[in-house]
Structure 1
Amino acid sequence: MTSRMPQRFYRIWSASAVSALGDGIYFAALPLLALTLTHNPILLGAMEACALLPWLCFGMIGGALVDRWDRRRTMVLADLFRFALLVVVTLLVMSGSADIYLLFAAAFLLGTGQVLFDSASIAYLPEVLQDRDLALLQRANSRMQGAQQAFGGFVGPPTGSLLFGLGRAVPILGDALTFLFSAVTTWTLPKTPAKPAKPRGSLLREAREGAAYLFKNRLLVGLSLRPAVGNFAFLGCNAVLVLFVKDTLHLGTTAYGIYLTANAVGALLGSAVAARTAARLGTGTSLTATAVLEALALLGIGLAPNAWIAGVGELALGLGMGVTMSLAPAIRQAVVPDELMGRVGATGRLIALCAGPLGALFGGWLANVAGVRAPFIVGAGILATMTVIVGTMTNNRTIEAALAEAKARREGSADENGAETGTEDSAGALAVA
C-alpha cells in the first residue's frame, strides 16, 4: 500500500513552484537581454555554458558538504545568496552598466548556488517524506516536476517576455523575489535530526567515496550517463534557440515566450502520467521509450518547415523529458544510502551536466558553420545512439534488483540498530539493579 503524502511536502512543493516561476521568467528574459548586447552565437553558447561550469569546478565537493551540513539550512542559504546576487544584477542593468560579461558572471554565480541547492534538495526529499518507497518517491517527484513545468515552463516564459517589455531589469528582479520566497518557505520546514558525530576526513576523500559508490553500480551509471548525453544535445540546441525561433521561425518577442511553453506543456503532461506509465510498463521500459521519443522530437524540430510543426516537436520533447525527470531521480533516492545521498546525487548530477557546457559551445559553433537547424538534427542522432547504449543499463530487471538490494540493506541496518539498542537497554537495567 502506497503511503500518503505528508503535509510538510506541500511546503517544499510551494517553494519549488514559486522558484520555478522565477526560473521560467529568467529563462525567457536572459536570452532577450543578451540579444541586446550581442548577436554572436558563440558568445550566446558561452553564456549557456557558464551556468553549468560550477558543477565541473566543485560539484562533487558540494555533494560532500551537503552530506556534512544540515540540508534544510543549506537550501535556505543558497536561495538567499541567489536573491542577493540578482538584486545586484538588477541594479547594474537599471544603471546601464550591464554587458555580456556581467551575464557570464551572473550565470556562473547562480550556477554555484544551484550546486548546493540542488544537491541538498535531492537528498532532502526522502527526509521530508520519511519513506523510501519507490512509488511514493515517484509521486513526489512527479508533483515537483509538474509544478516546475507548470510555473517554470508554462507561466514563467511568457511572463518573462512581457516583463522584459516593461523594462530590461524587471524580470531579473522578479526572479530574485522568487528566491526570497523559496528561502522563507523552506525555513518553515521542520528541522532535520542532528547527524551523529563521527570522525571526518578530507572533503576530497568523502567526495571520492560518493563517486566510487556510483561507478560501482551499473544502474546509477546508466541513470547519470543518459542525461549527460541528453544535456550535450539539448544545450547545444538551447544555445541557439532564441536565434532559431526569431530568425528561422520568424516569431516576435512575445511569440518566443509562448513558443517556449510548448515544451513546458508537454513536460507537464509527462509528469502527470509518469507514475502510471511506470506502473504499466515498468520504470526501465518507460525510460527507454521516452529516450526514443526525445530523439524523434528533436529531429522533427530541426526539420520543421514552420513554427506550428516545431511547436508539436517541442510538445513531444517536453513529454519525454517530463516522464524521465519524474522517474529517474526517484530510483536514485530509493536505492542510495542516506549518508551518501548528497555525494552520490552530486556525482550523478556532475556526470549529467559535465557535457552541457561542451554541448552549448558545440551547438553555437555548429550553428555558426552549418546553420541554426544543424544542432537539432545532429542532437537527434546523438540521442538515438545514447538510447541504444544506455537502455541495457536501466531496464526493468536491473532496477528491480537494485530495489531489492536496497531494501535488504535497510532491513539489515534496522536489525543491527535494534540489537544495539536492546543491548544498551539490558545493560542499563543491570546497572539500575
Structure 2
Amino acid sequence: MAADSSAAPAVPAAPVAGKLPRAFHRLWAAGAASSLGDGVYLAALPLLAARLTQDPVMLGLVSSAALLPWFFFGLIGGALVDRWDRRRTMWLTDLGRAALLVIPCVAVAGHLLSVPLLIAVALLLGTGQVFFDSAASAYLPQLLDRDVTLLQRAGARQQGATTLCADFAGPPLGGLLFSLGRALPFGLDALSFLASSLLIRSIPQGSQGAGSGSGAGAGVGVAAAVAAPARRSIWAEAKVGAGYLLRHRLLLGLALRPAIGNVAFVGADAVLVLYAHHTLHLGDRGYGLLLVCQATGGLLGTVLAGRLGALLGTGGALTATALLEGAALIGFGLCGGPIPAGLALAGLGAAMGATMVLAPAIGQALIPLDLAGRVGAARRLLTLGAAPLGALLGGWLASSAGLQAPFLVGGVMLAATSLVTLTVATNRRIEEALAAAKAEREAAEEG
C-alpha cells in the first residue's frame, strides 16, 4: 500500500465557493468506471458460481465473502488509511484489484476455476474495498474542505453515477458478457479498476482544500498532522476512531439510521424474488423490472436530495425520508399487483437515494480529517454488521409468518428510524455541530 509520509504540509487555495474542483470530476469519473465494473462483476459472479456448485452454503459464501474483511479488518484498515497518503492508497488499491481479477480470467481460460478460488478472490477484493472506501470517504471532505454544501452536491453526483452504472448498465451488460464468454465480465471489471486507478493517479498532488495540507499528495498533510499518534499501535489508533464515533451523539445517530435500515432492507431483499414470483406472479423479466423501478427512484432521489434538504433542512429531510421509506416498504408488502409494487419500490428508492446523499455529507463535514479514515471505517462496520442479521430475520419471518412479513416488519423499522432524527439529528443539532466543527477547524488553522 502507500507509505507513511512526514513531508511538511503546504496550504493550497480552498475550493472556489459553490463550485466543485476539477479534481473531483476525475474522482467522480473513476467512481463511475469502477461502479460499471462492479455491476458487471456482481451480476456475473453468482452465474459463474452456480456453474461450479449447487450447494446453497457455498453459493452464500461466494456472495458474502467480499463483506467479511470489514468485520475482521475494517477498523485496522481505517487506522492505516489515516497514516497513509489517501490519494496514493486509492490508486494503488485499484491497480491491485485490477491485477487480482486477471486470476479468474486465466483460471476460466485454463479450466482451473473452483469455488474456493472464487471465494479467495472475493475476500481479497473485499480487503481492497476496505482500504479504498476508507481512503475515499476521508479524501472527499479533505478535497472539498469539509464544505457540507459541496459534500452533498458531490454525494449526489457520485450516488447518481453508482445507480446508473452499477444498477442500470452493469447487470444486463454482465449477463450479456457472461453469455458470450465466462471470463469477459471479470476482464471488464479489471479494466474498470485500471481506469479508476489511472484517473485517480492523474489528480494533481496538491488538489485538496485549505488547511488539509498537500506535500507529496493528497493526504500527506493529514499524515504529518497525526505523526505523533502514529507511533502508537494500529489497534490503539483504531479504537480512537471507534471511540470518537460512540461518544459523538449526532454521528452515532447518523450511523444507527443506516444500520437499522440495513436490517430492514436486507431482510426484504432476502425474500424479494420469492415475493415477486409467488405473490405478484411475476417472471424473471418482471422481477428485473421491479429492480429497475427501485433504481429509477434512487436516481430521482439523488437529484432531488439537495432541494429537499434546502426546503426542510437536513434533519427534517432525513425524518421525511425515513417515514417515506417505511410507508413504501409497507405499501409494497400490502399491494397485490405489479404496478403498485413498482411504484412502491420507486418511492423506496427515491427516499433511499436522498438519504444516502444527505446523511454521509454531514458526517464527512463533522469528522476531523486526521480521524476520517478510522471513524468512517467504524461507521461502515456498524452499518454492514447489521446486514447478516437482516438476512436471517427476513428468512425467519417469511418462513414463520408468510412472505409479506419481512416487508411489513421492515417498514415499521424504517419508519421508526425517524425517531433517531427527531431526537439526535434535528436541524438545530446539525447546525450547531457544523458551526462547532467549523470553529474548531478555524482555530486549528490560526494556531
TM-score (norm 1): 0.87
The answer on 1:269 being equivalent to 2:300 is yes
Match of 1:378 in 2: 409
The alpha carbon displacement at 1:202 in A equals 0.6
Could you tell me whether the CA contact under 8 Å between 2:46 and 2:63 is conserved in 1? no
Query: Where do residues 108-147 of structure 1 align in structure 2 (5 Å cutoff)?
Result: 108-129=123-144, 131-147=145-161
Cα shift at 1:255: 5.2
2:423 is paired with a residue whose SS is coil
Give yes or no for the alignment of 1:403 onto 2:415: no
Distance 1:185 1:69 in 2: 19
Output one character per residue of 1:339-366: Cα deviation in whole Å (capped at 9) or x when no partner: 1111111111111111112323443455
Indicate whether 1:30 and 2:58 are aligned. Answer: no
Question: Aligned runs of 1:326-345 on 2, under 5 Å?
Answer: 326-345=357-376
- Could you tell me how far apart the structure 2 residues matched to 1:248 and 1:126 are? 45
Q: Which moved more, 1:49-58 or 1:139-148?
A: 49-58
Indicate whether 1:358 and 2:418 are aligned.
no
What is the correspondence of 1:242-321 to structure 2 with a 5 Å cutoff?
242-245=273-276, 249=280, 256-321=287-352
| Unmatched segments (≥5 aa) in structure 2 | 1-15, 206-213
- Residue in 2 that maps onto 1:187: 201
Find the residue that maps to 1:3 and give its secondary structure.
coil
Q: How far is 1:47 from its partner?
A: 4.4
Q: Does 1:164 align with 2:178?
A: yes
Tell me whether 1:20 sits opposite 2:35 in the alignment. Answer: yes
Deviation at 1:266, TM superposition (A): 1.2
Match for 1:343: what amino acid?
Answer: R
Using a 3 Å threshold, how does the CA distance of structure 1 residues 400 and 116 change in structure 2: closer, same or farther?
same
User: Residues of 1 paired with 2:29 and 2:63: CA distance?
Assistant: 27
The alpha-carbon deviation at position 309 of structure 1 amounts to: 3.1
Query: Cα distance 1:305–1:107, how it changes in 2: closer, same or farther (>3 A)?
Result: farther
SS at match of 1:132: coil
Evaluate the alpha carbon distance shift between residue 275 and residue 300 of structure 1 in structure 2; reply closer, same or farther with a 3 A threshold: same
1:303–1:373 CA contact under 8 A, matched in 2:
yes
Per-residue CA distance 1:24-43 (angstroms, 9 max, x = gap)? 22333334444545667666
| Residues in 1 aligned to 2:62 and 2:281: alpha-carbon distance in whole angstroms | 23
The 2-side partners of 1:300 and 1:37 are apart by 38
79, 86, 102: which one aligns with 2:101: 86
Task: Give the CA deviation at 1:319.
Answer: 0.6
- Greater Cα offset, 83-92 or 132-141: 83-92
Asked if the contact 1:42–1:364 (Cα under 8 Å) also holds between the matched residues in 2, the reply is no
Give the deviation of 1:87 after TM superposition: 2.4
Secondary structure, aligned partner of 1:196: helix
Question: By how many angstroms is 1:66 displaced?
Answer: 0.6
Report which stretch shifted further, 322-331 or 25-34: 25-34
Provide the C-alpha distance between the structure 2 equivalents of 1:298 and 1:42, rounded to a whole number of angstroms.
28
1:116-151, CA deviations, whole angstroms, 9 ceiling, x for partnerless residues?
A: 11110011112322x222111111111111111121
Residue deviations 1:244-293 (CA, integer Å, cap 9, x gap): 55666565555554443222211111111111111110001111111121
Question: Relative to 1, partners in 2 of residues 1:235 and 1:169: Cα closer, same or farther, differing over 3 Å?
Answer: farther
Using the TM superposition, give the Cα deviation of residue 210 of structure 1 relative to its aligned residue in structure 2, in angstroms: 1.2
8 Å contact from structure 2 (residues 325, 351) kept in 1: yes
Counterpart code for 1:123? A
Residue 53 (structure 1) aligned with residue 53 (structure 2): no
Contact 1:44 1:239 in 2 (8 A): no
Amino acid at match of 1:196: A
SS in 1 for 2:18: coil
Which residue, out of 241, 260, 270, partners 1:229? 260
For the residue of structure 2 that corresponds to 1:391, the secondary structure is helix
User: Which amino acid letter does the alignment assign opposite residue 79 of structure 1?
Assistant: D
- Cα gap change, 1:223 to 1:41, in 2 (>3 Å): farther
- Tell which deviates more after alignment, 307-316 or 180-189: 307-316
2:224 is aligned with 1:196: yes
Number of positions where the alignment pairs a residue of Structure 1 with one of Structure 2: 415
Q: What RMSD over aligned residues (CA atoms) do the two structures have, in Å?
A: 2.6
* Shift of residue 238, structure 1, vs aligned partner: 3.2
Tell me if the contact between 1:231 and 1:353 (Cα under 8 Å) persists in the aligned partners: yes
**Who is 2:247 aligned against?**
216
Amino acid at match of 1:19: S
Distance 2:86 2:300 in 1: 30
Q: 2:274, 2:124 → 1: CA distance? A: 25
The yes-or-no answer on 1:151 pairing with 2:160 is no
Task: Give the 5 Å matches for 1:70-81.
Answer: 70-81=85-96
Secondary structure of 1:56's counterpart equals helix
- The 2-side partners of 1:172 and 1:325 are apart by 28
Contact 1:42 1:361 in 2 (8 A): no
Q: CA deviation at 1:182?
A: 0.7
Larger mean CA deviation between 249-258 and 291-300 belongs to: 249-258
Report which stretch shifted further, 34-43 or 355-364: 34-43
Q: What amino acid is aligned across from residue 95 of structure 2 in structure 1?
A: L
Distance 2:103 2:395 in 1: 29
Q: Specify whether residues 83 and 244 from structure 1 end up closer, same or farther in structure 2 by C-alpha distance, changes over 3 A only.
A: farther
In the alignment, the residues of structure 1 paired with residue 56 and residue 425 of structure 2 have an alpha-carbon distance, to the nearest angstrom, of 36
Deviation string, structure 1 residues 376-402 (Cα, Å, up to 9, x no partner): 333223323333345312111110110
Q: Which runs of 5+ in 1 are unaligned?
A: 417-433
Is contact 2:332–2:345 with CA below 8 Å preserved after alignment? yes
Cα displacement (A) at 1:186: 0.8
